[in-house]
Amino acid sequence: MSEIEATIRSTKTRGEVNSLRRNGIVPGIVYGGKEKNQKISLSKKEIKILIEKENFLSNVISINIDGKEQNVLTRDIKFDVVSDEPIHIDFLRIIKGTSIILEIPVKFINSEKSPGLKRGGVLNIVRRKVELRCPTENIPTELIVDLDNLDIGSSIKISSIKLPENVVPTIQGRDFVIATVAAPTIVKEPEKPAEDAAAEGAEGVEGAEGTPAEGAEGAKTATEGSPEKTPEGEKGKTKEGEKKEEKKAPKEKK
């Protein structure tokens, strides 16, 4: 059980509350039961130590308020949106004879003794926390799941976890799964079809031979596209001479 010190605060305005925060103090409140609500102040350093614990919200805390001890549960905590520092905390008094609903964290042990995990299996965690209805005098800090002798394909259900007396899950009517030991997932790269592989090989060969061929073809095209130079005068003379010869051709006598 964690312990923390607190003092009664008499702040009435928002300015007074902000002044506490600037001095490393977190304002809070204790409520529940027949007693009146108590406004308290706590050290930010001690609050941050509590927050680091995994079961912070389900762990019973003994709070000493000006010399008077009482057991409480953390019910809510607010953080600054910019600095992410705690700025307010609510505690609920634990009253004997009553019950409370809490989310209890699940802890897995003996993973090295699991044959399924040794053979490459994977622990698939379905629920890291389980919601339970607990009597205030018998609140578990965590639920233990023993992985000893579990092989691939095994399932851990809520019925396989030993719960404290009078502690029951809020989900009733079915034996829900907490975790499973699953087979390893192997991702294989799909093999390329034979036709695609052959086509890629043909493209590679064509590209290798095509480079010089394209150069030769280009040279050939350049040669064909460059006609021999003929004096413009000769060109014209030749064409005119051919036309005159056609006109002067004698007609055959009938």
What per-residue confidence (pLDDT) applies to 218? 45
pLDDT of 113 strictly over 60: yes
Task: Tell me the C-alpha to C-alpha distance, in Å, between residue 184 and each of 86, 109, 117, 124, 128.
Answer: 41, 20, 9, 11, 21
**What is the share, in percent, of the chain residues with pLDDT greater than 70?**
72
pLDDT of 138 strictly over 90: no
Average pLDDT over residues 221-239: 45
Q: What is the DSSP string of 199-251?
A: HHHHHHHHHHHHHHHHHHHHHHHHHHTSPPP--HHHHHHHHHHHHHHHHTPPP
What per-residue confidence (pLDDT) applies to 186? 67
- More reliable by pLDDT, 8 or 186: 8
Confidence of residue 211 (pLDDT cuts 50, 70, 90): very low
**What is the share, in percent, of the chain residues with pLDDT greater than 90?**
39
- More reliable by pLDDT, 168 or 191: 168
pLDDT of 235 strictly over 70: no
HEC secondary structure over 115-141: HHHHCCCEEEECCCEEEEEEECCCCCC
Condensed to tens digits (0 to 9), the pLDDT of residues 139-179 reads 888 899 999 999 999 999 999 898 988 999 999 989 999 99
Identify the H or E element spanning 47: helix 44-51
Q: Which of 40-44, 51-55, 69-73, 87-91 has the lowest mean pLDDT?
A: 51-55
What per-residue confidence (pLDDT) applies to 253? 47
Domains annotated for the chain, with CATH where assigned, are 2-94 (2.40.240.10), 100-182 (2.170.120.20)
pLDDT of 238 strictly over 80: no
Q: Which of 54-63, 75-84, 92-101 has the lowest mean pLDDT?
A: 54-63
What per-residue confidence (pLDDT) applies to 193? 64
Q: Which residues partner with 70 through β-bridges? A: 63
- CA separation for the pair 64, 155 (Å, rounded): 44
Please state, rounded to an integer, the average pLDDT across all residues of the chain: 79
